[in-house]
Structure 1
Amino acid sequence: MEAQPDRRRYDSLRRLTQAKQTHAEIAEAARRLFVSQGWTATTVREVAREAGVSVPTVYAAYGSKKGLVQALVDAADLAADPARMVAELEATPDPESQLAGMVGYDRRLFERAGDLIALLREAGRVESDLAAVYQQGRLLADRTRIQVFSTWPDNTLRVDLDLPTAVDIYAALCNIDVYTTLTTERRWPPQRIEHWWTQVLTRELLNPHRP
């Protein structure tokens, strides 16, 4: 007679777990379709069919196609382990080590969500909402670099660089296009790219005669 109350006690947890699983299945179905056939060609109905749920369930979970994309972007950021980057930045004040921490995050992001980033940029050429999502991601990345570079002592950057230029150089070197070229055309493994980025950024940004 006591088993029934115990079962009811966990009903809410069971429903929450099932809802999270459904959300994840919808997001994964949307990602497959967005990447394989493009943002514009993909409908919410197709996402629902791919995920094995109803159309109202998709809208209830994410609100719209844009909501789906934003959820995928958020998931990609978590998959790249930003907490690990923050821990690495806090572990040492050494600029080269901090560059390595930021580069490691970028490599993980491109490795795990490069297809999504490319999709978002291309779709943003015709969809202003998606262009805003992509631009927000770029602005957040720049903000992180500005925050880190600003903590460095004077004369850490090369003498011919100001802070905005240093951020520009980082963005020009460490981006999805360079990553894609090296992995797909040149067959570099991601770890080699990460190591090379750290070396190049150290050479291009840091004053070799810094204190």
Structure 2
Amino acid sequence: MTVAIRERVYRAPRREAQATATREAIVAAAGRLFADQGWAPTTMAAVAAEAGVTAKSVYAVADKAGLLLLALERHEAERPGGDVATELLRHYPLCRTLEHGAAAEPALRDAWRAHQRRHRADAKRIVRAVADAGQLRAGLPAGRAADAVWSLVTWHTVALLVEERGWGHAKLARWLDEVVRRQISDG
């Protein structure tokens, strides 16, 4: 006769909560450092110091590329739902880091391509809204209009305007409106 032995399941809710908090601290620290310093200067040791944990704890969460992906995922989940200018100002530092990281780290290349597909889809939504309002420039194909918005409104452009020219939210919002109006609209 075979006797089934029940395996005792060990659960430690306090330990699980602590592990979750540590993981969140690491991902948040990585996100801050990637946004502030970029890909190359952000080291695992710097993330550990910023999060107040050991490097071993950081490596237990993910490697450097994985940390950037987790930071981006967290960043997307925190989307406050503001206007386009607000989102660009909030998002461009991590977009820059992702592009630079993808150039150095093959594990990030698919994520960069996916980001570009989402960015192009956002441009298509803007064009669709202009077209639905009856203001798309006559004779301008929607695909070409989307390409114009997609290529002009990038992290590169935002970084130049904000970091080199000192633009804030209001000026960036006016410029975005002007770009859309001049490039794709009859209005």
Normalising to structure 1: TM-score of the pair? Answer: 0.67
1:182, 1:172 → 2: CA distance?
15
Task: Report the equivalent of 1:180.
Answer: 159
Task: Report the equivalent of 2:172.
Answer: 193
2:36, 2:161 → 1: CA distance?
22
The AA in structure 2 aligned to 1:197 is L
The AA in structure 1 aligned to 2:25 is E
Deviation at 1:140, TM superposition (A): 0.9
Is residue 31–residue 72 contact of structure 2 (8 Å, CA) maintained in 1? Answer: no
The AA in structure 2 aligned to 1:129 is A
Further displaced range: 121-130 or 16-25: 16-25
Task: Report the equivalent of 1:66.
Answer: 65
Further displaced range: 19-28 or 130-139: 19-28
**1:204–1:43 CA distance, 2 compared to 1 (3 A):** closer
**1:48–1:185 CA distance, 2 compared to 1 (3 A):** closer
1:32, 1:150 → 2: CA distance?
34
The AA in structure 2 aligned to 1:47 is V
**1:50–1:129 CA distance, 2 compared to 1 (3 A):** same
Task: Report the equivalent of 1:161.
Answer: 140
Unpaired segments ≥5 residues, structure 2:
1-11
Task: Report the equivalent of 2:4.
Answer: none
**1:182–1:50 CA distance, 2 compared to 1 (3 A):** closer
2:104, 2:98 → 1: CA distance?
11
Q: Tell whether 2:95 aligns with 1:117.
A: yes
**1:126–1:67 CA distance, 2 compared to 1 (3 A):** closer
**1:185–1:56 CA distance, 2 compared to 1 (3 A):** closer
Task: Report the equivalent of 1:21.
Answer: 21
Task: Report the equivalent of 1:134.
Answer: 112
Aligned residue pairs total: 175
Unpaired segments ≥5 residues, structure 1:
1-10, 86-103
RMSD across aligned C-alpha pairs, in angstroms? Answer: 3.0
Deviation at 1:16, TM superposition (A): 5.6
Report 1:76-155 matches (<5 A). Answer: 76-81=75-80, 84=81, 104-105=83-84, 107-147=85-125, 149-150=127-128, 152-153=131-132
1:20, 1:201 → 2: CA distance?
43
Deviation at 1:72, TM superposition (A): 1.4
Deviation at 1:137, TM superposition (A): 1.0
**1:203–1:43 CA distance, 2 compared to 1 (3 A):** closer
2:22, 2:117 → 1: CA distance?
31
